[in-house]
Amino acid sequence: MNNESYVKRIALIIILTNIAAILTLPWFFKDGISWILGASASLGNLLWLADNVKKSIDLVPTKSKLSAMKGAMLRMVALLFYATTIVFLLKPNIILFGLGLLSAQIIIYLTEFLKFIKSNKIFRG
């Protein structure tokens, strides 16, 4: 599986969880909006990272390192500014907002764990 299809699969899962959160908004508005805002930021961060990786593949090693460092710092500053603004202005459910911010990482760990289980002969039977 190449990088682009992997990112698309993770993005699809995040979008599906956001659709589920949208459906719960009439009953759990604060919780649903907290998840949506966090997961959307996580998706944006993932897509930005994938774009940075795509741009730095053909660079020489020194320029690639510099590009990766600048990209990572810019993404983290933007994410910190976004999260701080959301927390102070909207006062979301902080736990669900934080889990939403970690949703891309959680999905990556779960997909890799499921891939490990599927490929392990002990679990296949």
pLDDT one digit per residue (tens) for the chain, 125 residues = 688 899 999 999 999 999 999 999 999 999 999 999 999 999 999 999 999 888 888 878 888 888 888 989 999 999 999 999 999 999 999 999 999 999 999 999 999 999 888 888 877 66
Tokens 């090693």 locate to 61
Cβ-contact 32, 22 below 8 angstroms: yes
Provide the residue count of the chain.
Answer: 125
What string of H, E and C letters represents the secondary structure of 20-44? HHHHCCCCCHHHHHHHHHHHHHHHH
Residue carrying the six token digits 């679990």: 123
Task: List Cβ neighbours of 55 (8 Å cut-off, separation of 6 or more).
Answer: 67
